[in-house]
Amino acid sequence: MPKQSTARRLLAYALVYKFRIIGALLILCCAVGAELGGPYITKTIIDQHLSKEAGELSSVLVLLAFYMGLLLLASISNFLQSYLLQSTALRIIKNMRMDLMQHIQRIPLRYFDNTPIGGVVSRIANDTEAIRDLFMSFMATFVVSFVQLLGIFTALFILDVKLALYCLLLPPLFAVIMIIHLKYSKGFISIMRARLSDMNAMINESIVVMPIIQAFRREKVTLQEFEVLNDERYVNQIKQFRVFALSSRNIVGTIGSLVTALVIWYFGRGALESAISFGVFYAFIDYLGRMFQPIIGIFDQLTNAQRAFVSADKVFAVMDMEGVEVEKANDTARPEGIVKFDNVSFAYKAGENVLNGISFEVRKGETVALVGHTGSGKSSIVNLLLGFYEPDQGKITIDGIDTASMSKQALRKHMGIVLQDPYLFAGDIKFNVSLHNENISIERVRSALRDVGAASFIEQLPGGYDEQVVERGSTLSAGQRQLISFARALAFDPSILILDEATASIDSETEGLIQEALKVVSEGRTTLVIAHRLSTIRDADQILVLHRGEIVERGNHDALMALEGRYYKMYQLQKGGAPSSMAASTVNPSTR
C-alpha cells in the first residue's frame, strides 16, 4: 500500500541517524524513569514515615533529596533527548530536501511543461516542512508517550495488579478512537494540502504576470479565483478541526474523568475494608492522571502526522518520476560543431506531431536561420538539439555522433544559448556572465562584456561589474540584459551557439548594437538562429522556412527572395511593401 511504502521510505531516512535516535531514546527512558519515580517515593514517604506516629525525619529528608535528584536528572535528560531528536529531524529533512532538489534537476522538461511552478515550489518548501513536523513533533511525542505509558503501566501493576488489568482496556479503546479520527480527517487534510499547492501556484503566476493582470484590469477576477481556493481550504480545515475537537482532548478528558471516579470508588471501598494504604491510593491516582497526558499528546500530533504523510506522498511521487542522472562532462572533447538532423519527427503529445521529417545539416562555422510563423516548429528544433526532449523518429548527430547516446551534460557543455527574454539571476553582473564557472576568470568576464559592447554602460553603474542585479534583471533595460547574455555565451566559448529570437524584443536603436554583438559571438561557431526579424538574418549561410512542422523552403536570402515563395512574402510584409498578389495568396488555405 502507498501508505506503508511512504512509511518505509520515511523510516529509511531516519535510519541514517539510527545511533543518534537510539541514544536519544535511551536518554528519554532515563528521563521517563526519573519522572515516574516521584509518585512512588511519595507513596513510600506517606506509608512508611508519615503514617507512623514518629516518623524518622532523616529518612524523609533522604527520600526528598532523592526525589529532587530525580527531578534534576529528568530535566537534564529531557533537554538532551529533545535536542538530539530535534536536531536529527532537521538533518533528515535537510537530506530529503536536497534529494528532492537534486531529483528535480534530473526530471525531463515535459514534467515542467504541465506542472505549475508554484506546485513544484510547494513540494520543496511546504511539503518537506510538513514532514519535518512529523520527525520533530510527532516522532518525539509518540516515542515519549509510548515510553511513559509503558512506565506508568509497570508502576500500576506494582501497586495493584487487579486494577491495572482493568486499565489495560484503555489503550485499545483510545486506539479505536484514533483510527476513526484518522479515517475522517485524512480526506480533509488531503484537500487542504492540494488547495495550498494550488494557491502557491496561483500566487506565483500572479506575481510573474502582474503587469498583464493590472493592464487588463483582472485584479478582481484573480482575487475571486484565489478566494475560491482559499474558501475551500478554510471549509475543509474547519471540518478537520471539528473531528479533532471531538476525538482528542474532549473524549480523552471525559474517559479520564470517568476512570478516575471509578478508581476513587474502588480505592475508597478498599480503604474502608483496610485493604490498601493511603500511599498506594495517592500513587495510583497520580499515575492514572499521568496516563492521559501522553494520549492527549498523541492526539494533538495526529493532525501533523497525517499532514506529513500526505505531504510525503506528494514528495515521493515527484522523486519516483523517471529522471536522467546528471553526469560530469569534464573530459568531454570540444566538438567541431557539425549538426545534422536526419528525418526527425517529434510530438509533445502523442499523435500531434509538431515536427515532421526534418532534415538539414549545419557545417562548422556556418549560420543557419530558422524562420516561420508561431507554431511552425522552430523552438522545438532547438529543444531537441539541446536534449530537452528526444525525437520520436529519426536522429540528431553532432560530428556524426548520435545525441541520444551522449549524456546531457556532455551534449550541452559546448553549447551556448541566448534567449529572446534573457534571464539574469539575482547576484552581481560578473556572476551573471561566469555563473561561478571556475574556468572563467574576471579578466575573461570583462573581455567578453567589452567585446559585445556592454562595458560602456556597466562601467557607468555605481557598482560597475559588482553591481547587484535583482531577479530577472528587471532594473536593466531589455537591450542591456541581452548584451549581458551575449557576453555570457561568449565567455563560455561554445562551439555551437543558439540564438532564440535574440533581437525580437529590442528597439531599432539597440538592434544595431545587438547585431554587432551577434557577429562577435557567432564568429567561427556553428550558429542556429531563430528569427522573427528577417532583416537580421540576411547574411545567414542557410535559411530554413518552416510551416506546420515541415521545411517548405531552404536556401540563402537571395535564393529565397528569387523564389518568391513563403519567405519572400514574409519579408515583404515586414518591410511594409507586400506585392498586390499577396492579398489573394493569404486567403488561400494552401499558402497558410
Residue-level pLDDT at 577: 52
579 falls in which pLDDT band (50, 70, 90)?
A: very low
C-alpha 564, offset from chain centre: 52
**Does the pLDDT value for residue 511 go beyond 70?**
no
Task: Locate 5 and state its grid cell.
Answer: 511504502
Q: How far is CA 312 from CA 12, 219, 315, 415, in A?
A: 13, 34, 5, 37
Query: At a CB cut-off of 8 Å and minimum separation 6, what does 510 contact?
Result: 477, 478, 479, 482
Higher pLDDT, 591 or 530: 530
Residue-level pLDDT at 326: 61
Residue among 406, 324, 396 nearest 355 (CA): 396
Cα separation, 456 vs 513, whole angstroms: 12
Residue-level pLDDT at 585: 36
**Does the pLDDT value for residue 327 go beyond 70?**
no
Please state the rounded mean pLDDT for residues 364-386. Answer: 91
- Helix H segments across 273-428? 278-319, 378-385, 408-413
1 falls in which pLDDT band (50, 70, 90)?
A: very low
Domain range 420-493, CATH class: alpha beta
Verdict on whether the full-model pTM lies above 0.95: no
Read off the pLDDT of residues 84-131 as tens digits, 9 standing for 90 and up: 888 888 899 899 989 988 888 888 777 777 777 777 877 888 888 888
Residue among 381, 384, 467, 469 nearest 424 (CA): 469
Read off the pLDDT of residues 435-480 as tens digits, 9 standing for 90 and up: 888 888 999 999 888 888 888 888 888 888 888 887 667 778 878 8
Q: Residue 276 gets which letter from DSSP?
A: S
Cα separation, 260 vs 282, whole angstroms: 12
Domains 2-319 and 420-493 share a fold: no
Amino acid at 252: V
Query: At a CB cut-off of 8 Å and minimum separation 6, what does 87 contact?
Result: 20
φ/ψ (deg, to 5) at 470: -75, 170
Residue-level pLDDT at 358: 95
Bridge partners (DSSP) of residue 195 are: none
Domains of the chain, residue spans: 2-319, 420-493
What is the CATH code for 2-319?
A: 1.20.1560.10
